[in-house]
Structure 1
Amino acid sequence: MALILVFFGFNLLQAEHVNNTIKNNDSQIQSLKIQIKQINDKISSNKSIWLKKYTNFAIYNQIIADIEKIKKELKNLKNHKSADNSKINTLNHKLETLERQEELLQEYKTNPFKELIEKPQITNIPNISNPIAIIGGISFIKNLENQKSILKKNQKNLESIIKDLDKKYFLLQELWEFDKSKEILDQIRQNQSKKLELQSAQNILNTTIDIYSKDSDEVVARLKLQIKNQIFKLIYIGLTVIFTIALALALKVFVRRYIHDNERAYTASKIINFFNISIIILILLFAYLENVTYLVAFLGFASAGLAIAMKDLFMSVLGWFVIVLGGSVHVGDRIRVSKDGSVYVGDVLDISMLRITMHEDVTLTTYLENRRAGRIIFIPNNYIFTTMFANYTHGGMKTVWDGVDFTITFDSNYKKALSIASDVATKYSRGYTEITRKQLNKMRDKYSLRNNNIEPKTFSIIESNGIRISVWYQTNAYATLTIRSTISGEIIEKILKEPDIFIAYTTTKLIKDGTDGFGNKTVKTGSIEEEKD
């Protein structure tokens, strides 16, 4: 009985030990899985170009394996007597899809990291032989340093990824001791495959960085030496130029002090300037004119100086292109040009590459300002950039706003005067108003036209000598003065017939015949009729 009890107790102790061991193993397995998950999350969150390249490489290999598998399956199905056509069609469709994907990922077939590990070529190394080339040399050095920085950044990122893969490998090895499953074995193989690919790329990248660093350092050292030489050369040339300028100034002072004839002193000063500029040009030529290339550059600068001296000519040619291509002015348009206080209005006769030829017409401008007309005006095309141009007939417009102003006395019936002016203006502008309305409707496709009220407008404004009546109307752009004359005459005729409207004007009238000087007009105020004194 005692032996049975002892045996039973021993079994209980052994079972308890086994349970504790299993619990400990489960705890370790869970801890290892958590650590592996943390590393996987870290690798996944690392948006590295290396991982993206490797992922595409792995996808390409998987696609190749799937293609081979489908091809074998299709071969077996076709050799089978009772072939399943539906399944064959499905597999063919999958095969076509995978083959298209294979074409897209073809660059990852052999070397997925080619762009990252290939040594950059150092080409087009500048030769710094003048001060202008210094800027290009400094820019080239910065590009080399940036390229080296990118390579080292990729190297550091790759080292970090490989370290994480090493940690993951050791954790998977520990997990394998507890869990001999196929899943863990596949993870170990995948991890090692990725690690081997990245280590191979790392070895090549280290060699690339070493070689590129030596090459770029050599180029940078040579460029820095050239830059240093050019800076010292520029300083020497600058000092020489300053000396020549100082000498020229000293000679000018000498000339002013000892030559009292102003004309001779002026001539001597001009000669000194000429020789000074010539010496400076010769210094620069001998310093930098080492081959034909610099001669061409010198001629280019000379051409630029010529272009500056003849800028008006070149601007006129450019203005011709603007006028022709922009369509702001056409032959036959009526334009208005103002320059230095003079205003010219007329019709465009011709537009050449250098100038606009205009025939000056009799207009309100010639009546009020010039008192001349019929002249041929030549307008340089460069005026389109610097001078006020007004086109009365742009966009097919044939009409413009014009107006007539007159002043009546304060005791006149201004409302009746407004009505008369409006009626007369409407009578003579009715046809032009309709033309304007149609043309504005066409122009809305090109321009933003908000105010489309083109009916005659009348205004009454208080002035110091009476009430000014202003009437505005649409009129022919080519005959504004004629219509203004007609409207003015008819307004005067109608106003003179009205007993309660008096034209206000500055005049002195001596009355000796007993009349009031206004044609004995009477003004009715209410029921009282007063004689105008």
Structure 2
Amino acid sequence: MQNIFKLLLLFLFVCTNVSAESETKESIDNATKSTELKLELKNVNKKLEKNIWITRYNNYLTYRKIEKELVQIKEDAKKYGRWKGEKYKELSYQLNNKIRIKENELEFISEYKDSPIGKQITPDAIGKVPEIKNPFSIIEALSYIQILNKNVENYNQIKLELVELVDQISHKITLSKNLYNLTKDQKLKNDLDTLTLELKNFLMVVDVVSTTQEVYGKKVRQITQEVKDAISAEIWRTSKLLIIMIVLFLLSFGIKKAVKKYVDDDDKHYSSNKLINFIFLIVIIFILLFSYIDNVSYLVTILGFASAGIAIALKDWFMSMFGWMAIMTSGAIGVGDRIKVVRDGVEIVGDVLDITLFKIAIREDITLTSYTKNRRTGRVVFVPNNYIFTDMIANYTFDGLRTVWDGIDIHITFDSNHKKAVELAKSIVQNHAKGYTDLTKKRLQKVRKKYVLRSANPEPRIFSFVEPYSIVISSWYYTNSHATLGLRSTISMEILEAFKAADDITIAYPTQTVNLGSNAQVDGEHLIPNIESTKSLFDTETRL
């Protein structure tokens, strides 16, 4: 019996030792697991501390906290406001100040009123869809599509970050539960309740973001497709316009080539090219206007109301444009023509350099006008096109004519042989003007096919007239429109030499005889001191 008791004691001792060793081992294992869990939990907390969404969530919690405090302060202020006494009056005043402070704080973080992540829960606004009405708006539309796609990417990134955050919070909850099971720490229990609420809020946010992402993505895809369709339509319309403009350009180029081939006159060729370019430009402008103006009738109405004011304010401009159209369509004046413009007593003779929409550029040459009146030449004068309606403009080279009548008057005395003088002048003029006479005959034959010419005889004409103090021999002949003075000078000198060589022809010039009496004789130079007598070969002889 005693032995059995000993054995029993021995068995109990062994079991106790084994149980103690087992408990010691379990405690060591729990401590090790607890340390590992705390370390892992610490790493998770570090990641969450740097997470922007946790920061925003903390702002949301702050908003809710301030909101609760504000409700309580308002209740206290309402309660103490009804109590009497300086103490409660001061307390009520302080509470009202706190109310204003809290309201300002809430206003500062008001974006967290309805969302744990603030305004980020709402995607960026889609904005106004651009209207594609011209090729330049295509660039704006492409930029708009790029912005929409970027907004979708940003919102998708927000969802991914929130999903990742939910996983981290779930992992933190799991770690906290395991650690609580080991340590039974009440603080961990409270943290678990907070984490559970936080996880619930973020799950709600993820659900809202997922739904919004789906709707937002569909809306963006719809708008993107509509904008792309509008871009395609505008590209097609622009392509058609480009094709039309290219066809018009090729047509104008072909017309220019035909004009160059069949029109030998360089001046007419130049004017024709300018007219073709102008018509091409006007057609292109009208095509673009009618293509890109939505309401053409509205434009016509506006122009109708504004036309009166525009016509008054820009009368000269419009008249110049109409003058240009009249010049280009009628062919009255062309580049290279020699013209004469007379306005307010001023005479300009020169060659047309260019005809623009508003002005005619004329380069003065040495002419009889510059010799007798201007005494200056070589200037480039700009004449407004509207002058053709109001002033005299003479064309010396109209419709292929390259010659004009020019005349020389020489005075001879009454006792001269005027018939001989006429014959001499006629012979000289015919000799020098023969080439221009033949050229004029050919030109006039062409002109007579288009115009009625009563007198088309280009032969030189010599006239003689009786003037008060002499006989005038007036010689008329055709000469080059661009070089009248050269032939005039040659013929004048030859007639002068021929008249001087004839014994019975005397050139008349101003003379004066003074008779003071039968016995007095005074030289003319004493009567008019310091004035030398002058003699003009082409003036009338005067005898008193």
TM-score of the superposed pair, with normalisation by structure 1: 0.49
For the pair shown, the structure with the greater C-alpha radius of gyration is 2
